[in-house]
Structure 1
Amino acid sequence: MTPSQPTNGNPAPRITVLGIGNLLWADEGFGVRCVEALQQRYEFADNVTLIDGGTQGLYLIQHVQQADYLLIFDAVDYNMAPGTLKFVANEEVPRFLGVKKLSLHQTGFQEVLMLAQLTGHYPQQVLLMGCQPEYMEDYGGSLRPSVKAALELAIEEALKVLHDWGAAPRPRTSALPEDEAVTLRHLELQRYESERPSEQDACRIGDERILARRS
């Protein structure tokens, strides 16, 4: 019997773990970094799919429609202290994603959830693990220390949820094949941080003559 086969004879639930956000804007990469860390450290049953949703918006609709259980990681403005985690579930998820949008990707994903509801293909369980960002106006930047610490806590809690859902998480015993990684090799967290240029060599906020600062 494979890990994805339930003992009661019912089909295994389709579990999707989705990280959304933009790796290039510091703390907005929280969601994708969570999925990346889970995949690097753990293996899961065959009924589990890990996805770097990036900023794809409506293109993620098929992944939501196909999931029985959906776990979402994202940077969410809860108006709390930086690095604070807050989890919301089921019908509360679209509301929290729409309260104060950090970027256009949240508008798109809020619409994805509502569209999936309208089509009648919506997960039985939806859980949003959101983290209050500290700083995002750092193009090419990485997670701030408070958010990086929150990532570790989010991973711990996610493993408990995934275990309860039947994802059978277990520590990885072999190296992750490069072609299976959810993030491109040159964007992997450690390499991304070690190879990023200095502020003197690269403008982190864009050309002020063209880009307006976000308040």
Structure 2
Amino acid sequence: MTRVLVLGIGNVLWADEGFGVRCVERLCERWRFGPEVTVLDGGTQGLYLLPFLEEADILVVFDAVDYGLEPGMLKIVEDAEVPQFMGAKKMSLHQTGFQEVISTATLMGYCPGRLILIGCQPEELEDYGGGLRAPVAAQIDPAICIALEMLAREGVCAEPGPGDTSMLADRAILRSAYEEGRPSEDEACRTGDDRFFPAEG
């Protein structure tokens, strides 16, 4: 039996950085797979994801990747090219590089034989507490369609209906709860600690 890991990575607290996580959430809302497929919110777990890669024959990754394209553009990268493109993302202190996860799995001899990266060009990564920007959010469903089509070619098919959500994050930070419950920028400063801003006038 071909084992598949569908992985969304990123940090939902940093605007478009949460694209991958939001993709697996939507996927589980609308599609279900057989027991050979694991759909996982990998967040920023980094090397803690290695055991999941060890068990997979096919890895599909959703992520926000800075390719230098127009915001919201999708780019699909496969197999040997994936590690190179995972390193294309501009790194900062709040991000964990998935490139090192793949490199380590390869070094240890258990990287999945089939790799598919569905990356979306972010518009904004530096808005702490912000949600997905419109061009990026609009690509969630197209990205899922691409994943479903590519998996179908591998003989792995999904059925309409709610899927297994046991490997997703707590419901409190699912996209609907997170974005609908966010205070406005006037109510909650996301640019720093306002106690230390210089007084006006």
Q: Considering the TM-score relative to the shorter chain, is it more than 0.5?
A: yes
> What do residues 66-92 of structure 1 show as CA deviations (whole Å, max 9, x unaligned)?
110000010000000000000111111
Aligned mates of 2:156, 2:142 — CA distance in 1: 19
Partner amino acid, structure 2, of 1:39: C
Aligned mates of 2:109, 2:94 — CA distance in 1: 23
Q: TM-score, normalised by structure 1?
A: 0.84
Contact 1:25 1:142 in 2 (8 A): yes
Contact 1:137 1:205 in 2 (8 A): no
Partner amino acid, structure 2, of 1:201: E
SS of match in other structure, 1:138: coil
Which residue number in structure 2 is paired with residue 96 of structure 1? 85
Which residue number in structure 2 is paired with residue 76 of structure 1? 65
* Selected match of 2:171 from 159, 182, 185: 185
Partner amino acid, structure 1, of 2:49: L
* Selected match of 2:180 from 172, 191, 194: 194
> What do residues 82-128 of structure 1 show as CA deviations (whole Å, max 9, x unaligned)?
00000111111111111343445765311111111111111110000
Q: Which runs of 5+ in 1 are unaligned?
A: 1-11, 211-215
Q: Which runs of 5+ in 2 are unaligned?
A: 197-201
The percent of aligned pairs where both chains have the same amino acid is 53
Partner amino acid, structure 1, of 2:84: R
> What do residues 140-177 of structure 1 show as CA deviations (whole Å, max 9, x unaligned)?
111111001111210111111122223320110xx567
Which residue number in structure 2 is paired with residue 115 of structure 1? 104
Q: TM-score, normalised by structure 2?
A: 0.90
Q: CA RMSD in A?
A: 2.0
Q: What is the number of residues matched between the two proteins?
A: 196
